């Protein structure tokens, strides 16, 4: 008792209490810091990665670790080396032994405290006994909560009693510390090793197209204030878009490139682009950043950089860094794309490559002004005296606030010799609608002389337009003298369509004796045997045999158009029809001859699906046989009158005048049959 009194009272007791409290506080702080370090290492893969770079570099230098090469970093890895089984199992085994040892020590000293302290000295909480609380925990909780709760009650009981119990608690702590120290020595060993790692890459793309030489025109007040500040800091005379981008990158002592290198440890690569992306340089050290900044300051938005292909530039950069650790692409641009891949398609490709794109927008956030001529069409060849019909669409972008504005569309004939002026043929005035819906236009011009001619459809450039190459469209047209067209009509049998069409074409051939426009030849695949010879003698247009390949392909005396009716592509062994169909394919593809098809109830177009003509048919044939005839026949319910589609109404073939066009179609006799499948 006297020894216990000496320990618990006086100066030694105060020292012991402060040592005990300090040890507990130190162990608690150490446990928290160690736990945070281990969790941080497990999450980031870099042990003590939260330490400042200078502290880590100082420790590495003290440990005599060679510094990393330029453009490289270093990761610290804390590795557990196995002692009994494997690293993962040994950690769990060490933890289980530590818990078991703690339980063992606590139970022993609990029994000793009960043996030393009298029963009536049990501590109370808020005037009550703690034992009922312990019994309640034993009765209601599971084994793990029970153990934790009873361990807490034991520690509270010891701290409450004071006296010799605190001395016993100190002894218990010494034994637990010894056990944990022994586990740390004997169980899994720790090894700190260092991994050299290349920095990730980031690419800066500066748009130096002609539009980047324009002055900043964003109407937003905050943007204008920032532009004025950059202009003042960089000493710029004008707020050009490219100049503002260069000032934003290199302003002040802490320029972008140096900050990215030193603070983020990322390699910087700089490209310029108007047409194709061009590599300016790379930097991995601050001294390299200075040279790269000088190269950036030398960029100019020249007038010859009239092409802006930002989408193509993004794809090119992504392909250049394929397989590397590209962390992102930063673009300084006004967003004007005049040709090539769109920004939306380039962004989709970047998403597939898992590379983020960051845009630094310069200029007006409104859409650039652009007048676009689209789908300008005209026949490739006409006869002298025929009308050339030019059709097209005008799309106005960036004119949303100028609805009602009038613009002109001009039709010119290009001068044949250098130094001569183009001839203005016609002009039309179109009214803009304030949206991007296409505005259709149409020119008609009569060809008066033969020759190779080039026509220009043009819309004058409006102020503020960026892209100028889509304001004009050139079309080449061959105007030929009127000559006789040679037509070959191949039919399977003498059906009604054959008689009507043959008679019509023969009448056209004899309409003007001194100006014959058409010469017709016909061939029947299955003529009536009894009348064949007589018909051939009296009918000069009917051929006894199919034309040969040479007759078909002759560019001077050959045929210009072939009309193919309801023919059987495989009639028999002695027929020349299969070879003729092969020649007909070359007639269309090589000579450029015309081909018209007239469907029939026997063979065409169903049997043509597997014939040599299948690749040049203007339709997709899905069945090899015609549809079955209805049981009730083709009565009034099957009659129909064909109508022109919107595209057909605009085609030159059906360009009747406004007064006669509709009555002509309504006057056509109804039809009762059509090809299906």
Order of strands across the sheet that contains 472-480: 381-383, 472-480, 451-458, 406-413, 423-431
Q: Give me the pLDDT at residue 472, please.
A: 93
Q: Give me the pLDDT at residue 533, please.
A: 46
Instruction: Please say if the pLDDT value at position 204 is more than 50.
Output: yes
CA distance 444 to 425: 10
- Neighbour-count burial of 551, counting CB atoms closer than 10 A to its CB (0-12 exposed, 13-18 middle, 19+ buried): middle
The residue written with tokens 């290198």 in the block is: 261
Domains and CATH numbers, the chain: 16-23+68-194 (no CATH), 201-361 (3.40.50.410), 370-480 (2.60.40.10), 485-626 (3.40.50)
Report pLDDT digits (tens) over 571-629.
877 788 999 999 999 999 998 889 999 998 888 888 888 899 988 888 888 877 777 77
Q: Which residue has the higher pLDDT, 6 or 623?
A: 623
Q: Give me the pLDDT at residue 394, please.
A: 93
By residue count, the chain amounts to: 677
Report pLDDT digits (tens) over 13-46.
667 667 767 776 776 777 788 778 778 777 877 7
Instruction: Please say if the pLDDT value at position 406 is more than 80.
Output: yes
Q: Do 366 and 398 meet the contact criterion of CB atoms below 8 Å apart? A: yes
Mean pLDDT, range 186-198, rounded to an integer: 68
Identify any residues that bridge with 564 across adjacent strands, giving them in sequence order. 490, 597
Residue 281 parent element (H or E): strand 278-283
What string of DSSP letters covers 128-180? Answer: EESHHHHHHHHHHS-HHHHHHHHHHHHHHHHHHH-THHHHHHHHHHHHHHHHH
Q: Give me the pLDDT at residue 419, please.
A: 81
Q: Do 250 and 236 meet the contact criterion of CB atoms below 8 Å apart? A: no
Contacts of 233 (CB under 8 A, 6+ apart): 247, 251, 252
DSSP helix, strand, coil percent of the chain (3-state; round to 5): 40, 20, 35
Report pLDDT digits (tens) over 228-241.
777 777 677 777 88
Mean pLDDT, range 83-111, rounded to an integer: 73
Dig out the tokens for 258 from the structure. 């140096």
Name the least confident of 139-143, 415-419, 570-574: 139-143
Q: Do 278 and 307 meet the contact criterion of CB atoms below 8 Å apart? A: no
Mean pLDDT, range 647-664, rounded to an integer: 68
**DSSP E strands: which ranges in 448-560?**
451-458, 472-480, 485-491, 518-524
What is the CA 129 to chain-centroid distance, rounded? 73
Contacts of 38 (CB under 8 A, 6+ apart): 78
Q: Give me the pLDDT at residue 232, please.
A: 76
Long-range (24+ apart) CB contacts under 8 A made by 276-285 are 276/309, 276/312, 276/313, 276/316, 277/205, 277/312, 277/313, 277/316, 277/317, 279/320, 283/257, 284/70, 284/71, 284/199, 285/70, 285/71, 285/261
Name the least confident of 4-8, 17-21, 262-266, 592-596: 4-8
Identify any residues that bridge with 333 across adjacent strands, giving them in sequence order. 361
Instruction: Please say if the pLDDT value at position 126 is more than 60.
Output: no
Tell which phi-psi region holds residue 92, choosing left (phi > 0), alpha (psi between -120 and 50) or beta: alpha
């Amino acid at each position: 008792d006297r020894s216990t009194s000496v320990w618990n009272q006086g100066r030694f007791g105060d020292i012991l209490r402060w040592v005990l409290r300090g040890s507990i506080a130190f162990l608690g702080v150490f446990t928290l810091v160690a736990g945070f370090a281990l969790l941080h290492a497990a999450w980031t893969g870099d042990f003590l990665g939260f330490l400042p770079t200078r502290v880590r570099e100082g420790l590495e230098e003290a440990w005599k670790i060679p510094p990393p090469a330029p453009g490289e970093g270093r990761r610290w890895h804390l590795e557990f080396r196995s002692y009994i089984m494997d690293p993962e199992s040994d950690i769990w085994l060490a933890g289980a032994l530590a818990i078991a040892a703690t339980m063992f020590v606590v139970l022993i000293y609990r029994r000793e405290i009960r043996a030393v302290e009298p029963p009536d000295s049990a501590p109370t909480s808020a005037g009550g006994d703690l034992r009922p609380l312990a019994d309640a925990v034993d009765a209601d909780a599971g084994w793990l909560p029970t153990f934790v709760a009873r361990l807490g009650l034991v520690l509270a009981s010891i701290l409450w009693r004071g006296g010799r119990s605190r001395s016993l608690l100190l002894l218990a702590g010494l034994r637990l510390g010894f056990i944990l120290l022994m586990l740390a020595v004997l169980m899994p060993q720790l090894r700190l090793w260092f991994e050299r790692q290349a920095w990730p890459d980031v690419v800066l793309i500066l748009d130096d197209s002609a539009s980047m030489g324009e002055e900043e025109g964003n109407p937003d007040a905050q943007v204008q204030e920032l532009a004025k500040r950059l202009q003042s800091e960089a000493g710029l005379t004008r707020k050009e878009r490219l100049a503002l981008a260069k000032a934003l990158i290199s302003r002040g002592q802490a320029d972008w490139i140096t900050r990215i290198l030193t603070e983020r440890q990322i390699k910087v690569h700089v490209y310029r682009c108007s047409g194709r992306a061009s590599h300016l340089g790379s930097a991995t050290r601050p001294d390299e950043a200075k040279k790269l900044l000088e190269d950036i300051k030398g960029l100019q938005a020249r007038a010859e950089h009239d092409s802006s292909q930002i989408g193509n530039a993004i794809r090119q950069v992504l392909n250049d860094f394929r397989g590397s650790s590209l962390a992102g692409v930063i673009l300084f641009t006004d967003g004007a794309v005049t040709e090539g891949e769109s920004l939306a398609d380039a962004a989709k490709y970047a998403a597939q490559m898992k590379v983020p794109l960051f845009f630094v927008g310069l200029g007006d956030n409104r859409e650039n002004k652009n007048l676009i001529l689209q789908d300008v069409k005209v026949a490739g060849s006409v006869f002298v005296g025929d009308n050339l019909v030019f059709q097209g669409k005008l799309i106005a972008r960036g004119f949303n606030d100028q609805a009602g504005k009038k613009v002109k569309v001009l039709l010119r004939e290009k001068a044949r010799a250098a130094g001569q002026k183009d001839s203005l043929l016609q002009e039309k005035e179109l009214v803009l609608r304030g949206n991007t819906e296409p505005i259709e236009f149409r020119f008609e011009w009569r060809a008066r002389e033969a020759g190779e001619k080039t026509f220009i459809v043009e819309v004058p450039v409006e102020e503020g337009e960026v892209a100028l190459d889509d304001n004009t469209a050139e079309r080449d047209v061959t105007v030929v003298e009127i000559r006789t067209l040679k037509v070959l009509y191949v039919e399977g049998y003498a059906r009604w369509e054959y008689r009507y069409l043959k008679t019509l074409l023969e009448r056209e051939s004899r309409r003007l004796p001194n100006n014959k426009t058409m010469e017709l030849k016909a061939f029947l695949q299955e003529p009536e045997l009894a009348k064949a010879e007589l018909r051939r003698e009296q009918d000069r247009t009917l051929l006894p045999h199919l034309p040969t390949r040479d007759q078909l392909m002759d560019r001077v005396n050959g045929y210009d158009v072939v009309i193919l009716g309801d023919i059987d592509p495989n009639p028999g062994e002695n027929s020349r029809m299969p070879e003729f169909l092969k020649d007909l394919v070359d007639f269309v593809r090589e000579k450029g001859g015309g081909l018209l098809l007239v469907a029939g109830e026997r063979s065409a177009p169903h049997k043509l699906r597997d014939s040599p003509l299948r690749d040049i048919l203007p339709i997709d044939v899905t069945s090899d046989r015609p549809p079955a005839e209805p049981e009730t026949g083709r009565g009034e319910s099957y009659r129909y009158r064909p109508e022109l589609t919107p595209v057909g109404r605009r085609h030159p073939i059906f360009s009747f005048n406004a007064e006669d066009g509709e009555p002509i179609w309504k006057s056509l006799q109804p039809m009762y049959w059509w090809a299906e499948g």
